[in-house]
Each structure stands twice: as structure tokens, then as C-alpha cells.
A and B are shown apart, each in its own frame.
Chain A
């Protein structure tokens, strides 16, 4: 069974601060997807990373896929209250269709 561990589970910061969320596993994934979810809504895709060592930037968000494709990180620069939400990482394994999700990181950015 593939597991994804996300850390931290909860994060409360002030507007303007930087933060990093980690997603770790002992399993190799063919790709890894990051989602942001708001209460009562479905997960919204932020990015897909496919190649080991890949770095993708989405405005103030930087995503990195580990060289061995077992881990990933999400870094947010100068966080804003609008970044508040549940950040989920999800790995696609050998089946290439079944996503394994972490439990998520609940981020609160205070004005």
C-alpha cells in the first residue's frame, strides 16, 4: 500500500510570511499532483509534476518533485489570506489511474 505523509498537518501564519509544505513517501510515483481544497468544495488542481527533480512555478507557489520521485514540496512566498485552504498532495502509482492522497495541510493566513 502506497502512503503519502504530509507535514505539517496544520499551519497558521501571518500575511507576508513564507512557508513550505512537505509530501513524503517510501514509494515511487509516476506523477504527483497538488490540489487546494476549500470547505465544502472539491479539490482544485494546482499543478502536476512528472519528472524527477522537476520544479514548477505558479505565481508565488513553487512546486518541486524529488529526484527519486518519492517526495515533493510546495513553497509559498509572501502568503496572502486568499491562500488559506487545505493543500493536498496526491501521487499516481504504477496503476497510472489511482491517486493516493496525503491527509493534507490546513493553511491559515492571517491578515
Chain B
């Protein structure tokens, strides 16, 4: 069990550029989540996949954001035309439904700084 892996860990980009983050969940976890965390706040839910199906998207996820999980394993989160307000830590998490209260495990996060 290698845990949830995220890449890259840090990304600095210019306003208006596109960025993509990758997440590899714990193997055999069928649920995958993206959260966003800003300084001084707890993580906020962005979106959720069960296998390859995206079942919920938060209203925090504007049209510039898109997440995919094409084969029900790894996931990508793309942000188009980045804005300074997108600067945050993007956290991926995974879980196995029906086990121990649906315990959710987080990755180390991907820090995004938009300059």
C-alpha cells in the first residue's frame, strides 16, 4: 500500500496558463475525491468519483475546472486560464466504499501558486 500519490507537489504558473494535476489513489479504492485547501481553512470538497463516474461536482468547481478518471484508477484535475484566486493546495483522496465508515485517505497535496 503506497498511499495516495499526487503529482506535481508544487506548481508555479502565470495567470492565464493551464495546469493539470494527477492523482493515483490507493489501489483497489473505488472512490476518489478532490478537495481544495487555502491557508487557515480546512479542505473543501470539489468533486467525487465512484469508479470512472463523476457523481458530484461542487459549485466551487467553475467551468474552468475539469476532472476525469477515465479508467476508474488515476484521476486528473485540469484548471484552464488560471487566476490568482486559484492559488491553493489541491488535495486528492480515496476510499473503499462500505469499509470502516468510508474512511478517506489523503495524498500529500499539490500546491498551486498563480502569479
The interface of chain A, by Cβ under 8 A from chain B, is 30-31, 33, 35, 40-45, 48-50, 88, 90, 92, 95-104
Contact = CB atoms under 8 A, between A and B. Distances in A.
Contact of A31 (B45, B55, B102): B102
B31 interface: yes
B101 interface: yes
A2 to B, nearest CB: 11
Contacts of A95: 56
Which 4 pairs show the lowest CB-CB distances between chains A and B? Answer: A101-B42, A31-B101, A50-B101, A42-B106
**In the complex, which of the residues A42, A95, A103 has the most CB atoms of chain B within 10 Å of its own CB atom?**
A42
A43 B89 CA distance: 11
A103 B42 CA distance: 5
Given A48-B100, A48-B101, A92-B102, A42 B108 contact: yes
Contacts of B28: none
Contact of B43 (A30, A49, A97, A101): A101
B103 A43 contact: no
Given A42-B91, A102-B42, A35 B106 contact: yes
Contacts of B55: 97
Contacts of A104: 42
Interface in B32-52: 33, 35, 40-45, 48, 50
Nearest to A88: B42
Given A40-B111, A42-B91, A97 B42 contact: no
A30 B106 contact: no
Contact of B109 (A42, A50, A88, A92): A42
B100 A45 contact: no
A33 B103 contact: yes
B42 A90 contact: yes
B72 interface: no
A6 B83 CA distance: 31
Given A41-B108, A104-B42, 19 more contacts: A31-B102, A33-B104, A40-B109, A42-B106, A48-B100, A48-B103, A50-B100, A96-B97, A97-B50, A97-B55, A98-B48, A98-B56, A99-B33, A99-B45, A99-B104, A101-B42, A101-B44, A103-B40, A103-B41
